[in-house]
Structure 1
Amino acid sequence: MSRHAFVALVTCFNADETINYKVTRAQVRRQVEAGNNIMCAGTNGDFTALTFEEKVRLTEEVVDEVGGRVRVIVNAGMPATFETTKLAREFDRIGVDGIAVITPFFIACTQDGLIRHFSTVADAVQTPVYLYDIPARTQNHIEPQTARTLANHGNIAGIKDSGGAKETLEAYLQVSKEVDGFQVYSGPDHLVLWALQNGAAGCISGLGNAMPHVLAGILSAFNAGNIAEAERQQAVFAAFRTDLYALGFAPAMVKRALYLQDASVGASRQPALLPNDEQDAQVASLLRQYGLL
């Protein structure tokens, strides 16, 4: 089975903080040309800063630009089940390959509450739903046993694990071995190859925005059975991740690394970090070191 890389695509903004759809489409083309699939309205897409209407239009524009050439997953997750379901229905209407649902944030959930949340959304749409676990950001964690329960839903196709703990990833991978058709996508960029070697269906990467060809290179080498080359590309990807994320909040650093390669992508919406000359100089120096500038 061929494995797939998705890039958690950045949303591009104009100087007045409105979405720049034209430049966002250009980023879609750049990723498609590199060989990556697209996840939109994810953590790296500033989804918490976008309105309901913007997410719907963003998805329409991305799907139109992709034109069926690669797969598109879109994140519908919001704190309340009601709005998440409403968004998911819109994405279902537009026609995407998967609907990711990040765990609710701000609202503390029990595991039973999470089962109800994800099941309600998955019941409401035809499109396969992917659970999305990122406890450091949402304060809610999908326990492996909960993932196992949800894996038997019928319209829940897998999970994106952005927890960063190898043990949790291993536990989710065990669920995928036991439940036919339940796929695991790894989020942490230093674990891409490890996850593939341990049965993951692929990865969903934020860092791929700044380094699309290396991400695609890990996957194409792995799919071709060239593990030495996959290891070489993974080493570059992991080292760049370590160096870049040492400078600040990861999604903000990815956006700056991309901005310094192509200023048309714009900054993030406030109250995200403001551009900082000293930090930009450090990021630019890294980009030069990795041959990206």
Structure 2
Amino acid sequence: MPKHAFVALVTCFNEDETINYEATRAQVRRQVAAGNNIMCAGTNGDFTALTFEEKVRLTEEVVDEVAGRVKVIVNAGMPATFETLKLAREFDRIGVDGIAVITPFFIACTQDGLVRHFSTVADAVKSPVYLYDIPARTQNHIEPETARKLAGHGNIAGIKDSGGAQDTLEAYLEVAKDVRGFEVYSGPDHLVLWALQNGAAGCISGLGNAIPDVLAGIVNAFNAGDIPEAERQQAIYSAFRKDLYALGFAPAMVKRSLYLQDSSVGASRQPALLPNDEQDEQIREVLRRFDRL
């Protein structure tokens, strides 16, 4: 089976912090042209800053722009199961290819609580549901054994691992080996190729907003059996990640690096980090180093 690259798409904003839907559509077209699939309303899409109604419209706009050319996954995860369920039903109505559900945040959950949360959502929609683990941001971690238990649910299709720990990714991949139809998507940008080589169905990457061709290059080369080329592209991707993320909070650096290439994406809603002139110049230097400016 071919592997798939998804970009955790940025949400574009106007100067008054309203969503710029046309600029967001332009970013969708850019990613489609590169050969990448789309995840919207994720961490890199500022989902915590979006209202319920905005998430629904954003998803409608992205699905309409894609027009079936690539796959669209959208994140419905919120702290309460109640709102997560409402969002998931709306996304199901729109007709997405998958619904990601980030672990609840702010509310401390037991593993049994996570099983109830994810199962309730998966029971209520037709679209396949993907678990989304990013404990550094939510403080709730999906233990591998919990993932194994949830993998047995008929409508839970896989997991997006954004924990950054290779041993956890390995444990999720073991679940995928044992449970037919359960897919693992890698989130850490430096592990894209490693994950593909070890059984992942693909990756979901925020860094691909800034250099979409390199992300697509890793996956396309792997699918073609050209491992030296995949390794070359991964080396570029990892080096760009290291240099850019050294400058600050990763999603903010990705958004700003994209802004410096195309200002139509706008800044993020406050209180997100606003880079200063010195930091902008450091980001520009990274972009120049990788021939992006």
Q: Under a length normalisation based on structure 1, what TM-score does the superposition of the two structures give?
A: 1.00
Aligned 1:45-56 pairs, distance under 5 A: 45-56=45-56
Q: 1:17 and 2:17 equivalent?
A: yes
Deviation at 1:274, TM superposition (A): 1.4
Quick one: which amino acid aligns to residue 9 of structure 2? L
Corresponding residue of 2:292: 292
Quick one: which amino acid aligns to residue 86 of structure 1? K
Number of corresponding residues: 293
Corresponding residue of 2:158: 158
Corresponding residue of 2:179: 179
Quick one: which amino acid aligns to residue 41 of structure 2? A
Corresponding residue of 2:193: 193
Corresponding residue of 1:34: 34
Aligned 1:247-262 pairs, distance under 5 A: 247-262=247-262
Corresponding residue of 1:210: 210
**For the residues of structure 2 that align with 1:176 and 1:275, how far apart are their CA atoms?**
40
Quick one: which amino acid aligns to residue 76 of structure 1? A
**For the residues of structure 2 that align with 1:275 and 1:20, how far apart are their CA atoms?**
20
**For the residues of structure 2 that align with 1:64 and 1:238, how far apart are their CA atoms?**
32
Deviation at 1:19, TM superposition (A): 0.0
Structure 2 unaligned segments of length 5 or more: list them: none
**For the residues of structure 1 that align with 2:192 and 2:274, how far apart are their CA atoms?**
30
Aligned 1:92-111 pairs, distance under 5 A: 92-111=92-111
Quick one: which amino acid aligns to residue 105 of structure 1? F
**For the residues of structure 2 that align with 1:167 and 1:220, how far apart are their CA atoms?**
26
**Which has the larger displacement, 266-275 or 200-209?**
266-275
Q: 1:225 and 2:228 equivalent?
A: no
Deviation at 1:55, TM superposition (A): 0.1
Corresponding residue of 1:115: 115
CA displacement, residues 175-201 of structure 1 (integer Å, 9 cap, x when unaligned): 000000000000000000000000000
Runs of at least 4 residues of structure 1 off by over 3 A?
Answer: none
Structure 1 unaligned segments of length 5 or more: list them: none
Quick one: which amino acid aligns to residue 150 of structure 1? L
Corresponding residue of 1:129: 129
Deviation at 1:275, TM superposition (A): 2.9
**For the residues of structure 1 that align with 2:137 and 2:250, how far apart are their CA atoms?**
12
Secondary structure of the 1:195 match is helix
Corresponding residue of 1:83: 83
**For the residues of structure 1 that align with 2:179 and 2:277, how far apart are their CA atoms?**
50
**For the residues of structure 2 that align with 1:45 and 1:265, how far apart are their CA atoms?**
11
Aligned 1:134-153 pairs, distance under 5 A: 134-153=134-153
Quick one: which amino acid aligns to residue 32 of structure 1? V
Quick one: which amino acid aligns to residue 14 of structure 2? N
Corresponding residue of 2:69: 69
Quick one: which amino acid aligns to residue 186 of structure 1? S
Deviation at 1:282, TM superposition (A): 0.2
What is the aligned-residue RMSD (CA, Å)?
0.3
Deviation at 1:126, TM superposition (A): 0.2
Secondary structure of the 1:12 match is coil
Quick one: which amino acid aligns to residue 127 of structure 1? S
CA displacement, residues 214-243 of structure 1 (integer Å, 9 cap, x when unaligned): 000000000000000000000000010010
**For the residues of structure 1 that align with 2:232 and 2:138, how far apart are their CA atoms?**
33
Report % sequence identity. Answer: 85
Corresponding residue of 2:236: 236
**For the residues of structure 2 that align with 1:72 and 1:29, how far apart are their CA atoms?**
13
**For the residues of structure 1 that align with 2:15 and 2:221, how far apart are their CA atoms?**
39
**For the residues of structure 2 that align with 1:156 and 1:290, how far apart are their CA atoms?**
39
CA displacement, residues 69-115 of structure 1 (integer Å, 9 cap, x when unaligned): 00000000000000000000000000000000000000000000000
Secondary structure of the 1:54 match is helix
**For the residues of structure 1 that align with 2:291 and 2:223, how far apart are their CA atoms?**
25
**For the residues of structure 1 that align with 2:167 and 2:264, how far apart are their CA atoms?**
39
Corresponding residue of 1:60: 60
